[in-house]
Structure 1
């Protein structure tokens, strides 16, 4: 008993691969840009929330009405904000205007980076795989653990006294 390979039904894996290929081909993602040529995204890190507007420009980054070098004085924080542009090879091609509130400076820098990455994928959907591989699109879920009652801090007990 021989099976003709031309008439044999595809296996489940073959069907799945075909469906995925069709889905990728069928749905080209279009950029989401408003009337002013900006894309908007929200970035979050710890307790900080950043609202980010991205548009074509000379590479100026404004945070809460100040230049990024003035708002984030530490070079490490400025580097964190610029990472999505470096990974995507878009250094100096976009202007960023963002408002950020909550948390400290480190969390705010992470929130701005997350927001810039999200806005870049909305402006140029082709950059998504590069940014995803770099881990810029994933919101970092780590937050400070809350203090519990009967404890000095989140986990530290009060000092034990035998007498």
Structure 2
């Protein structure tokens, strides 16, 4: 049985997945899908590549994800799953590329600058 591993990143979240043929079991950091991502929206985000390629329930996933928040982690997992599906079957690539699941979202938090309150916000100016 072939195990496909892939990496997905979003903001500061990094997801490493191990995908093999199975019956749709998902383990994220040793927990179940609904336990790790209780929000239904995040579960939908995670399952988008499977619904796009109509391969839901065909693969078992073991996912290690760290860094960032839950939304960034869910999108990092989505990217990793998309990359793994492309590796499993090259015919999946056009559909996943069209949906934008293979494109790395490069938007990151802008760093705080010295002499400012936040990245762009300045301290309150007092004329007198």
Tell me the TM-score normalized by structure 1. Answer: 0.77
Residue in 1 that maps onto 2:114: 149
Runs of 4+ in 1 over 3 A off after TM superposition: none
Q: Pairwise mapping of residues 94-133 of structure 1 onto structure 2 (< 5 A)? A: 94-133=59-98
Residue in 2 that maps onto 1:69: 34
- Which residue of 4, 19, 23 maps to 1:58? 23
Structure number with bigger Rg: 1
Give the root-mean-square deviation of aligned CA atoms.
0.8
Structure 2 distance, partners of 1:139, 1:43, is 8
> Which structure is higher in RCO with an 8 Å CA cutoff and minimum separation 6?
2
Higher strand share: 2
Tell me the TM-score normalized by structure 2. Answer: 0.97
CA deviations 1:21-53 (Å, max 9, x no partner) are xxxxxxxxxxxxxxx411110000000000011
2:105 aligned with 1:140: yes
CA deviations 1:82-125 (Å, max 9, x no partner) are 00000000011111111000001110001000000001101111
